[in-house]
Amino acid sequence: MNYELEFKESALKEWRKLDNSIRELFKKRLAERLVSPRVESSRLTGLPDCYKIKLRDAGYRLIYQICDKLVLVTVIAVGKRENNLVYRNAKERV
């Protein structure tokens, strides 16, 4: 069963600011996660039902939250890992 994808408004603004090549890499990974979103190695502690997608070479992270009742994956933050900013943004938005 495939999950639907949505973006929080603030995450969508961050998404639009990304370089096209970074967006394409995230799109491929998101497509995989919509089929199977719960990857235990990517689970975030302290944020309920939240997981991350890492682009190690580029240094970017995408944080998403899963809602099983609605069969929905919501992107809540996108950005560089520097200073843990993307994780702090995600924590504020959950």
Dihedral through CA 22, CA 90, CA 82, CA 58, nearest 10?
-20
Tell me the CATH number at 72: 3.30.2310.20
pLDDT one-digit tens code per residue, 66-93: 999 999 999 999 999 888 999 999 999 9
pLDDT at 92: 95
Structure tokens at 26: 């995230």
End-to-end CA distance of the chain: 25
Count of structural domains within the chain: 1
Assess whether 54 carries a catalytic annotation. no
Q: What is the pLDDT of residues 27-76, one digit of tens each?
A: 999 999 999 999 999 999 999 999 999 998 889 999 999 999 999 999 99
Residue 21 pLDDT > 90: yes
pTM score, two decimals?
0.93
**Is 29 among the residues known to form the active site?**
no
Catalytic residue, chosen from 8, 33, 52, 61, is: 52
Please pick, among 16, 17, 80, 81, the residue that the annotation labels catalytic. Answer: 81
